[in-house]
Amino acid sequence: MNIPKDPAILLSYINTKLRDEYPNLEELCKSLCIPPEDITDKLASIGYVYDKNTNRFK
């Protein structure tokens, strides 16, 4: 599946998916058939990291 390429749009997209549909980042990535590093690396480039406790990027 294609995910947004722009990091700011990706942040919104991923956090919405995590909030509404998935219990954690691993399940989301399995569903999208992409490695978690594709998301974490892109969002780290704009200063966001995944917080397991809140299930979102902060």
The pLDDT tens digits along the chain (58 residues) read: 689 999 999 999 999 999 999 999 999 999 999 999 999 999 999 999 999 999 999 9
* Tokens coding 4: 């947004």
What distance in Å separates the CA atoms of residue 42 and residue 37, rounded to the nearest whole number?
8
Sequence-ordered list of residues with C-beta below 8 angstroms from that of 10, at least 6 positions apart, any chain: 3, 4, 39, 42, 43
Kindly report whether the global pTM for this prediction surpasses the value 0.85. Answer: yes
